[in-house]
Amino acid sequence: MSDAVASAGHPGRYAPDREAGLTPAEVSVARRDLRRRKLSAVLLVFPLFLFIIFAFFAPIATMLHRSVYNPIVVQLIPDTLASLVGWSGEGTPDATVLTTMAIDLKRLQADRTAGKLGEVLNRALPGTSSLVKSTARRLGRVEDSELADNGAALLLDINEKWAAPELWATVRQVGQVHTVTNFLTALDLERTADGSIRTRESAQIYVALYTKTLRIALVITVLCLLLGYPLAYYLALAPPMTANLLMILVLLPFWTSLLVRTTAWIVLLQTNGVVNSVLIAIGVTGEPFEMLYTEFATIVAMTHILLPFMVLPLYSVMKGIDPSYMRAAISLGSPPVPAFIRVYFPMTVPGLSAGALLVFIISVGYYITPALVGGTDGQMISNIIAFHMQQSNNWELAAALGALLLVLIIALYWVYDRLVGADNLKLG
pLDDT digits (tens, 9 = 90+) for 15-53: 455 555 677 777 788 888 888 898 888 888 888 889 999
Kind of pairing between the strands at 197-199 and 189-191: antiparallel
pLDDT for position 329: 84
Mean pLDDT of 213-232: 94
Top pLDDT among 26 and 424 is at 26
Q: Are residues 325 and 229 in the same domain?
A: yes
Q: Are residues 111 and 169 in the same domain?
A: yes
Is pLDDT of 156 > 80?
yes
Of 277, 300, 288, 294, which is closest to residue 376 (Cα–Cα)? Answer: 294
Is pLDDT of 219 > 90?
yes
Contact 104, 77 (CB under 8 A): yes
Q: What is d(CA 242, CA 249) in angstroms, rounded to the nearest whole number?
A: 11
Q: Which amino acid, 291?
A: M
Other residues' Cβ atoms within 10 Å of the Cβ of residue 39: 10
pLDDT for position 274: 87
190 part of a folded domain: no
Neighbouring-strand partners of residue 191: 197
pLDDT for position 215: 93
350 part of a folded domain: yes
Is pLDDT of 229 > 50?
yes
Q: Are residues 42 and 78 in the same domain?
A: no
Is pLDDT of 218 > 90?
yes
Q: What is d(CA 75, CA 71) in angstroms, rounded to the nearest whole number?
A: 6
Q: Are residues 385 and 320 in the same domain?
A: yes
198 part of a folded domain: no
Is pLDDT of 308 > 70?
yes
Q: Are residues 24 and 46 in the same domain?
A: yes
Give per-residue pLDDT as tens, 268-303: 888 888 888 888 888 888 788 888 888 999 999 999
Q: What is d(CA 380, CA 382) in angstroms, rounded to the nearest whole number?
A: 5
> Containing domain of residue 88, as a range?
72-179
Q: What is d(CA 278, CA 267) in angstroms, rounded to the nearest whole number?
A: 13
Residue 259 pLDDT level (bands cut at 50, 70, 90): confident
Q: Are residues 136 and 219 in the same domain?
A: no
Top pLDDT among 137 and 23 is at 137
Give per-residue pLDDT as tens, 85-133: 888 888 888 999 999 999 999 999 999 999 999 988 888 888 899 999 9
336 part of a folded domain: yes
Roughly what angle, to the nearest 10 degrees, separates helices 258-269 and 295-318?
Answer: 130
Q: Are residues 273 and 169 in the same domain?
A: no
Domain boundary among 68, 97, 113: 68
Is pLDDT of 171 > 70?
yes
Helices assigned H by DSSP within 319-377: 324-331, 336-339, 345-347, 349-364, 368-369
Of 99-113, 202-216, 322-336, 361-375, where does mean pLDDT reach its minimum?
322-336
Mean pLDDT of 62-67: 89
What's 354's domain CATH number? 1.10.3720.10
Mean pLDDT of 395-405: 90
Roughly what angle, to the nearest 10 degrees, separates helices 395-420 and 349-364?
Answer: 170
386 part of a folded domain: yes
Domain boundary among 68, 96, 120: 68
Q: Are residues 107 and 155 in the same domain?
A: yes
Q: What percent of the chain has pLDDT over 70?
A: 92
Is pLDDT of 5 > 80?
no
Number of domains in the chain: 3
Q: Are residues 121 and 156 in the same domain?
A: yes
Segment 113-120 long-range contacts (CB within 8 Å, at least 24 positions apart):
113/76, 116/72, 116/76, 117/72, 117/73, 117/76, 117/77, 119/393, 120/70, 120/72, 120/73, 120/174
Of 227, 215, 249, 214, which is closest to residue 307 (Cα–Cα)? Answer: 227
pLDDT for position 14: 46
Residue-level length of the chain: 428
Domain boundary among 68, 88, 105: 68
201 part of a folded domain: no
Q: Are residues 328 and 229 in the same domain?
A: yes
366 part of a folded domain: yes
Is pLDDT of 250 > 80?
yes
Mean pLDDT of 395-407: 90
Q: Are residues 280 and 399 in the same domain?
A: yes
193 part of a folded domain: no
Q: Are residues 172 and 220 in the same domain?
A: no
pLDDT for position 12: 45
